[in-house]
Amino acid sequence: MSQPLKIGITCYPSLGGSGVVATELGKLLAEKGHEVHFISHSVPFRLGAFHKNIYYHEVEVNDYYVFRYPPYDLSLATKMAQVVKQEKLDVLHVHYAVPHAVCAFLAKQMVGDNLKVVTTLHGTDITVLAQDESLKDLIRLAINESDAVTSVSQDLTRETQELLDITRGIDLTYNFVDERFYYPRDVSELRKEFASPDEKIMMHVSNFRPVKRVKDVVDVFARVSKEIPARLLFVGEGPDLPKIQCQIREMGLEEKVRFLGKQDEIAQIISMADVLMLPSEKESFGLVALEAMACGIPTIGSMAGGIPELVKHGETGYLAPIGDTAAMADFALQLLHDDALAAKMREACISRAKTQFNSDKITKQYEQIYYRVLQAE
């Protein structure tokens, strides 16, 4: 290995895919001999037990009476600068431009240009925040002042360049899953708890934000379950959950639908599914579809954002235009009716996850980016 690095990582420690990817990347970098320092307001939820080479620095927010709102961003920037100086960090890798890349920019002003900042764009900072004119200049500054910027899909890169008029280079670094946890497995015993042998299982895993279009999942399921015996399992929680529960009751589907809430053992649970549903309005990547793919489960979803770069239509799942639930239901029925097709897709999923979204390959891409920015002068 080239010279081991000291890397600071900041992410939303409790937030979905970006937090998962940032934490898993930190763990893999630490296993490769780098020293990794997480800097955030709480311990990243996937960090787990003690790991050699991994340190955690908590950001405490000062709540002085002069502040109407406690300034987390300023506390984070200060903490970043302190940790960089104290631990002699080479690189700060921040996940999300807002506020993390902005904080890293401030930290760099405090400690000097030797500190290199790598920013990974995950989607919401661009697809939601960059639509707000009042935030555009700030996001553009954060992106342009980073020493390297990575994006989790080509579609997100394109959208970033178009919306913010960005011309600088953006590296493509797809998300990955840790193959030691996400692999095909036999969960027939667990499956018996949720479905009888003749029933198919459709599953949706998300944070139930409006952007996930969970109502489309219900619509697709209603169409499918009219034709074949099927069950729908929901995993996760979020703002649209009560609305969905109401929709399920109104449609008389309660008997066929289960809500499992937030779960940690996603690989185990996802492996029960015959198909994963991801009909999002926006999705820069769709990490859950990769988690499913690595376990051999195809996805039926929308053509939004980066989903088509991940799910190969007709090979590892099926994609339809956003909101076209009739087409999604037709695809689901085609797949669920045909065991030979399902077996073929399962193999294609396992192989695609291993070759295209391999954790070792993607960790190496990030390492190369760190070495590149450190040799930039």
Which positions touch ligand GMT (CB under 6 A)?
15-18, 21, 122-124, 127, 152, 175, 207, 209, 211, 282-287
CB of 211 to ligand GMT, least distance (A): 5
Question: Which backbone phi and psi does 108 adopt, to 5 degrees?
Answer: -65, -35
- Which is closer to ligand GMT, CB of 224 or CB of 310? 310
CB of 239 to ligand GMT, least distance (A): 11
Dihedral sign for Cα 327, 328, 331, 336, please.
negative
Whole-Å CA distances, 71 to 11, 27, 40, 60, 63? 17, 29, 14, 10, 8
Which H or E run contains 369? helix 359-374
Residues 10 and 100: beta-carbon distance below 8 Å: yes
User: In angstroms, rounded to a whole number, what is the distance separating the alpha carbons of residues 241 and 223?
Assistant: 20
CB of 142 to ligand GMT, least distance (A): 16
DSSP string, 24-66: HHHHHHHHTT-EEEEEESS--TT--S--TTEEEEEPPPP--TT
- Which is closer to ligand GMT, CB of 81 or CB of 149? 149
- Which is closer to ligand GMT, CB of 231 or CB of 236? 236
- Which is closer to ligand GMT, CB of 10 or CB of 284? 284
Whole-Å CA distances, 257 to 33, 193, 217, 261? 46, 13, 11, 12
Question: Under 8 Å CB-to-CB from 113, ≥6 apart: which residues?
Answer: none
- Which is closer to ligand GMT, CB of 53 or CB of 175? 175
- Which is closer to ligand GMT, CB of 53 or CB of 120? 120
- How many Cα atoms are found within 13 Å in the side-chain-facing hemisphere of 308? 11
CB of 282 to ligand GMT, least distance (A): 5
Residues 351 and 295: beta-carbon distance below 8 Å: no
CB of 238 to ligand GMT, least distance (A): 8
Dihedral sign for Cα 37, 363, 274, 334, please.
positive
User: In angstroms, rounded to a whole number, what is the distance separating the alpha carbons of residues 280 and 303?
Assistant: 8
Query: Shortest CA distance to 8 belongs to which of 102, 97, 106, 119?
Result: 119
CB of 300 to ligand GMT, least distance (A): 16
CB of 131 to ligand GMT, least distance (A): 13
- Which is closer to ligand GMT, CB of 136 or CB of 223? 136
- Which is closer to ligand GMT, CB of 39 or CB of 121? 121
CB of 261 to ligand GMT, least distance (A): 17
Query: Shortest CA distance to 104 belongs to which of 4, 7, 16?
Result: 7
